[in-house]
């Protein structure tokens, strides 16, 4: 490996490694588009599992959507669920293996559209699972269709003239909805479009997994993320658009902590 | 007087040239190059040695292609 | 020492699940089988064997809980009835594709649509010809007594794990609701974690350092690989034929034959007695596994009789498999009341005479 700068030769040594890829991520190249937030969230979940040393006790559930191939990227035992049904799979696994760590990893179409009922009822039963929910306001895998979280006026392939609430309903804030259910213990909305937010999201995901030891109910982490190909923007533009538009409808921050609402809904 | 210095190694074959690291590097160490990898992406490359190991690039990289090194160096 | 009780079919299947080492039951109310979930909730098997019982928010959720539990190596089951089983078809196809063992009982009621809550057998095609999408088969058992409702739970789990495939118990409102004497087996303990890992090395029990990760999926974006996978499934469905089951009743001297399963077989047994009293030598051939269908045995019998009546509470679904097995060697006709109406032994006898005996 040729090191470009003389001064770096001293630094680039194994004992000086400050950050490297976690072993809980496989070597497979991610199937996500360049700059997609999925990749960052995959890393945060994988790092959390490595740091908590629970790789041999964690079972993940992949959705249908861009993250359908998540089992190629997490070096974990994983199951791929029918569209929207991940919370039901997770419910059964956690009840049958109470000492294991179980998480679902889902997109907005999977969790808030077809899987809305499974999401609500798993949360209402207070299952001791962790739900990682990527909200990029669009169906990415199938080519950019309108999702429940598509913003008012937002153009997608199935709202070509912008989402008109009178015809297509309003952006669904499912996270606020489930925060009101007594079965949820920790509910938060994070983002990964800036390093500072990535660090906060990592803490939230760590908390969501640690909570599983408490048997106090669902830990639900929504991550507002970009969809460069769906939004038809470069990654840098998409993150800027996200900040100026998505976060208005989907404000960041904790919504429920240790079973108590910390925000006016 | 010892000073903290950083250095990065980019796995250029896995980089997708998304440019997010370029945006967040306070020292402008990284820039998208003009060469493409096997997948046809203009991968990111280091253009100066002023890395301070602040970790921004490794935080934001969606494909975890950057390895970061940090050391105390006599200046 | 096994135990003898007077039980309803739906309760017998619940008690049998607890005794068969079932790890989890995930159900949803629907007439005529809600008693299964009610019995399990009242029985609190969690305290007896540690078995999990959960009422899901829909049949969709319940059957996907099966997916999660079965893919993790556990013995899991659900019961429902026709409309609910229709909701489960997608997940059943997924489980066939991902090779997940589980047990599903359909206590059939009159259809189509919301239909009626009375008994019927009009889900035969759905059960045996693949009710969901794609090429797959279920191992299908058809109980015709409360005893078999109980026995087929243990047998069903054995077949499910032997073939790593969903197994369906195709019952109906009669068998589910009727009360009969049933002999219950001594409880089998649930498997330990070590036993599960040994029996199901493919299951998602947590990736330990000594092995690669286990992935349970039915997805493959490479058609060549998927073709190979589907051909492997085909081999499995062929292999299932070694576990075919049927019963012959008074067929040795039969000149005519009734083919019927489940409650229609019980009703037809009475018809046989009535017919023989009138000098009509008719026997009953009762398929017990509907897939694999006992075609060889039926073909053998068809060489001995002059005509066959397929009796099923439907517009005629079983009859297609009967005709396939008989190859037009003898006439095969259908009789069956539909929509939840149940035929009587006398009505079956009239049909036998009118459609078969008086003509051939």
Please indicate whether, in this complex, the C-beta atoms of C60 and A59 are within 8 angstroms of each other. Answer: no
Q: Which positions of chain A have pLDDT values less than 50?
A: none
Cβ of A71 within 8 Å of Cβ of C217? The answer is yes
CA distances (Å), origin C333, targets A3, C256, C282, C337 = 84, 12, 14, 14
* Cα atoms found within 13 Å of the Cα of residue C93, Cβ hemisphere only: 14
**How much is the pLDDT for A226?**
98
CA distance A194 to chain B (A): 7
Q: Quote the CA–CA distance of C110 and A185 in Å, as a whole number.
A: 44
> What is the edge-to-edge ordering of all strands in the sheet holding C246-249?
C246-249, C282-287, C256-259, C307-311, C332-335
Segment A151-179, tens digit of pLDDT: 999 999 999 999 999 999 999 999 999 99
> Cβ distance C141 to C105 under 8 Å?
no
Q: Do A78 and C91 touch (CB under 8 A)?
A: no
* Residues facing B66 on adjacent strands: B10
Closest CA to C322 of C314, C311, C313, C337: C311
Looking at the partner chain, which of A57, A71, A93 has a beta carbon nearest the beta carbon of C68?
A93
Assign C357 a pLDDT band (cuts: 50, 70, 90).
very high
The CATH code of the domain that includes B11 is 3.30.70.20
Name all domains of chain C by residue range, CATH numbers in brackets: 3-193 (3.40.50.970), 247-357 (3.40.50.920)
Q: Which of B20, B39, B64 sits opposite A43 (nearest CB)?
A: B64
Q: Please report, for residues C22, C73, C164, C187, the alpha-carbon distance to residue C19 in angstroms, rounded to integers and kept in the order given.
A: 7, 18, 21, 4
Mutate to test the interface with B, among A21, A41, A194 (most CBs of B within 10 A): A21
Query: Is the Cβ of A36 closer than 8 Å to some Cβ of chain B?
Result: yes
Residues 6 or more apart whose Cβ sits within 8 Å of residue C260: C267, C268, C284, C286, C310, C311, C312, C318
Q: Which of A77, A118, A120 sits opposite C204 (nearest CB)?
A: A77
Q: Phi/psi zone of residue B16: left (φ > 0), alpha (ψ -120 to 50 degrees), beta?
A: alpha
Opening angle at CA C331, ends C325 and C333, nearest 5: 90
| C87 contact A CB<8A | no
Interface A–B counts its CB contacts (< 8 A) at 102
CB distance A1–B9 less than 8 Å? yes
Which long-range contacts does B37-40 make (Cβ < 8 Å, 24+ apart)? B37/B12, B37/B13, B38/B13, B39/A29, B39/B13
- Say which DSSP state B49 is in: S
Q: Which residue of B has its CA nearest to A20?
A: B67
Overall pTM surpassing 0.90 (yes/no): yes
* The pLDDT of residue C1 is above 70: no
Q: Is A46 left (phi over 0), alpha (psi -120 to 50) or beta?
A: alpha
Preceding peptide of C112 cis, ω within 30°: yes
Give C210-232 pLDDT, tens digit per residue: 999 999 999 999 999 999 999 99
pLDDT interval class at C18 (50, 70, 90): very high
Report angle CA C344, C346, C349 to the nearest 5 degrees: 115
Handedness of CA C253, C255, C260, C263 (dihedral sign): negative
Q: Could you tell me the two tokens for C319?
A: 């009859």
Q: Which chains touch B (3 or more CB pairs under 8 A)?
A: A
Question: What are the residue boundaries of the structural domains of chain A, listed by start?
Answer: 7-261
Residues of A whose CB is below 8 A from B63:
29-30, 32, 39
Contact criterion met (CB < 8 Å) for A118 and C205: no
For chain B, say whether A200 makes contact (Cβ under 8 Å): no
pLDDT band at B63 (very low <50, low <70, confident <90, very high): very high
Q: What is the four-CA torsion angle of A37, A42, A44, A48, rounded to 10 degrees?
A: 160
Q: Which residues does C46 contact at the CB level (< 8 Å), separation at least 6?
A: C52, C53
DSSP A70: G
Give me the mean pLDDT over the B9-18 stretch: 97
Question: What pLDDT score does A177 carry?
Answer: 98
Q: What value, to the nearest 5°, has the Cα angle with vertex C68 and ends C129 and A29?
A: 100
- Which residues 92-131 of chain A have a CB within 8 Å of chain C? 92-93, 95-97, 100, 117-118, 120-121
pLDDT recorded at residue B68? 98
State the average pLDDT over residues B51-70: 98
- C-alpha C20/C-alpha C152 separation (Å) is 10
Q: How many residues does chain B have?
A: 75
Cβ-based contacts of A82 with chain C (< 8 Å): 64, 67, 90-91, 94
pLDDT at C218 (0 to 100):
96
Question: Is the CB of A39 less than 8 angstroms away from the CB of B23?
Answer: no
Q: What is the CATH number of domain A7-261?
A: 3.40.50.970
| Cβ-Cβ contacts under 8 Å, C217 against chain A | 62, 71, 79-80
Q: Name the residue facing A56 among C62, C72, C206 (closest C-beta).
A: C206
Say what the pLDDT of residue C114 is: 94
- Return d(Cα C45, Cα C187) in angstroms, integer: 12
Residues 6+ apart with CB under 8 A from C337: C313, C343, C347
DSSP state of A252: -
Instruction: State which residues form the domain around B28.
Output: 2-74
Average pLDDT (C186-210) is: 97
Cβ neighbour number for residue A99 with a 10 Å cutoff = 10
Nearest-by-Cβ selection for A58 from C26, C65, C206: C206
Q: How many domains does chain B have?
A: 1
pLDDT in tens, C126-152: 999 989 999 999 999 999 999 999 999
Supply the pLDDT for residue B75: 73
Record: contact C64-A78, CB cut-off 8 A: no
CA distances from C341 to C44, C113, C262, C266, C313 (A): 35, 16, 15, 15, 8
Question: Are C262 and C121 spatial neighbours (Cβ–Cβ below 8 Å)?
Answer: yes
Query: Which ipTM was obtained for this model?
Result: 0.94
Whether residue B66 lies within 8 A of chain A, CB to CB, comes out as yes
In chain B, which residues have their Cβ closer than 8 Å to the Cβ of A198? 59-60
Percent of chain C topping pLDDT 90? 99
Contact B62 A40 (CB under 8 A): yes
Q: Does the distance separating the beta carbons of A34 and B70 come in below 8 Å? A: no
Contact C257, C301 (CB under 8 A): yes
Contact C193, C23 (CB under 8 A): no
pLDDT digits (tens, 9 = 90+) for C270-291: 999 999 999 999 999 999 999 9
Q: Is residue B60 less than 8 Å (CB to CB) from chain A?
A: yes
Touch test A–B: 3 Cβ pairs or more under 8 Å = yes
pLDDT at A54: 98
Average pLDDT over residues C104-122: 97
Q: CA-to-CA distance for C126 and C76, rounded, in angstroms?
A: 21
Instruction: Answer for the pair A217, A183: CB distance below 8 angstroms, yes or no.
Output: yes
Please indicate if any CB of chain B lies within 8 Å of the CB of A137: no
Convert the pLDDT of each residue in C55-79 to its tens digit.
Answer: 999 999 999 999 999 999 999 999 9
Q: Give the Cα separation of C68 and B16 in Å (integer).
A: 35
- pLDDT number for residue A4: 86
pLDDT score at A1: 59
Is B59 in CB contact (< 8 Å) with chain A? yes
What are the strands of the beta sheet with A101-107, ordered from one edge?
A260-261, A253-257, A184-191, A218-224, A130-135, A101-107, A58-62, A77-80, C215-216
The alpha carbon of residue C186 is apart from the nearest alpha carbon of chain A, in Å, by 23
Q: Report d(CA C14, CA C132) in Å as an integer.
A: 26
Tokens at residue A133, please?
A: 């929910």
Helix locations, chain C, DSSP H: 9-19, 34-43, 45-48, 59-71, 82-87, 89-98, 124-128, 146-163, 173-177, 193-199, 223-239, 262-277, 295-302, 318-326, 345-351
């Amino acid at each position: 490996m040729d090191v470009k700068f003389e001064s770096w030769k001293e630094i680039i040594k194994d004992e000086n490694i400050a950050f490297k890829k976690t072993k809980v991520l496989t070597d497979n190249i991610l199937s996500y588009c360049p700059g997609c937030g999925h990749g960052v969230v995959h890393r945060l979940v994988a790092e959390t599992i490595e740091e908590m040393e629970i790789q041999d006790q964690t079972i993940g559930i992949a959705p249908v959507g861009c993250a359908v191939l998540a089992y190629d990227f997490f070096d974990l035992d994983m199951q791929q669920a029918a569209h929207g049904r991940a919370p039901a799979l997770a419910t059964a696994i956690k009840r049958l293996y109470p000492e294991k760590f179980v998480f679902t990893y889902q997109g907005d179409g999977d969790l808030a559209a077809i899987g809305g009922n499974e999401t609500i009822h798993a949360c209402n039963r207070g299952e001791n699972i962790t739900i990682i929910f990527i909200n990029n306001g669009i169906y990415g895998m199938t080519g950019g269709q309108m999702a429940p979280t598509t913003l008012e006026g937002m153009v997608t392939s199935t709202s070509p003239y912008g989402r008109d609430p009178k015809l297509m309903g309003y952006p669904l804030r499912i996270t606020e909805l489930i925060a009101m259910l007594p079965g949820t213990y920790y509910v938060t909305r994070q983002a990964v479009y800036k390093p500072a937010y990535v660090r906060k999201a990592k803490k939230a995901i760590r908390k969501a997994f640690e909570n599983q030891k408490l048997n106090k109910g669902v830990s639900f982490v929504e991550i507002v993320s970009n969809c460069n190909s769906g939004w038809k923007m470069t990654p840098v533009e998409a993150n800027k658009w996200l900040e100026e538009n998505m976060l208005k409808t989907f404000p960041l921050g904790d919504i429920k902590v240790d079973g108590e609402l910390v925000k006016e809904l | 007087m010892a000073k903290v210095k950083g250095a990065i190694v980019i796995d250029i074959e896995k980089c997708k040239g998304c440019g997010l690291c370029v945006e967040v590097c306070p020292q402008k160490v990284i820039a998208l190059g003009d060469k493409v990898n096997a997948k046809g992406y203009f991968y990111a490359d280091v253009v100066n040695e002023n890395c301070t190991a602040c970790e921004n690039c490794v935080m934001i990289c969606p494909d975890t292609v950057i390895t970061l090194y940090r050391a105390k160096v006599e200046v | 020492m096994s135990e003898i009780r007077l039980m309803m079919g739906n309760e017998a299947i619940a008690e049998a699940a607890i005794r068969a080492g079932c790890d989890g039951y995930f159900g949803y109310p629907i007439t005529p089988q809600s008693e299964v979930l009610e019995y399990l909730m009242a029985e609190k098997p969690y305290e007896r064997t540690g078995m999990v019982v959960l009422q899901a928010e829909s049949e969709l959720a319940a059957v996907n809980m099966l997916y999660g539990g079965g893919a993790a190596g556990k013995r899991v089951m659900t019961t429902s009835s026709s409309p609910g089983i229709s909701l489960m078809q997608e997940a059943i196809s997924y489980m066939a594709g991902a090779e997940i063992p589980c047990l599903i009982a359909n206590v059939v009621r009159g259809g189509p649509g919301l239909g009626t809550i009375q008994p019927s057998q009009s889900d035969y095609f759905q059960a045996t010809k693949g009710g969901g999408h794609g090429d797959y088969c279920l191992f299908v058992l058809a109980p015709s007594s409360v005893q078999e409702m109980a026995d087929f739970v243990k047998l069903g789990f054995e077949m499910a794990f032997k073939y790593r495939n969903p197994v369906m118990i195709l019952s109906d409102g009669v068998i589910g609701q009727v009360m009969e004497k049933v002999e219950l087996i001594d409880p089998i303990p649930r498997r330990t974690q070590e036993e599960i890992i040994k029996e199901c090395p493919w299951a998602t029990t947590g990736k330990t350092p000594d092995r690669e990760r286990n992935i349970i999926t039915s997805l493959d974006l490479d058609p060549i690989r998927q073709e190979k996978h589907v051909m492997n499934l085909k081999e499995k469905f062929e292999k299932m034929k070694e576990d075919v089951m049927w019963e012959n009743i008074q067929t040795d001297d039969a000149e005519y034959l009734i083919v019927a399963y489940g409650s229609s077989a019980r009703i037809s047994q009475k018809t046989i007695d009535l017919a023989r009293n009138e000098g009509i030598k008719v026997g009953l051939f009762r398929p017990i596994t509907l897939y694999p269908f006992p075609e060889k045995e039926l073909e053998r019998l068809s060489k001995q009789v002059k005509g066959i009546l397929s009796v099923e509470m439907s517009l005629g679904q079983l009859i297609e498999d009967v005709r396939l097995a008989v190859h037009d060697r003898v006439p095969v006709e259908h009789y069956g009341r539909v929509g939840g109406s149940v035929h009587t032994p006398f009505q079956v006898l009239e049909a036998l005479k009118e459609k078969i005996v008086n003509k051939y």
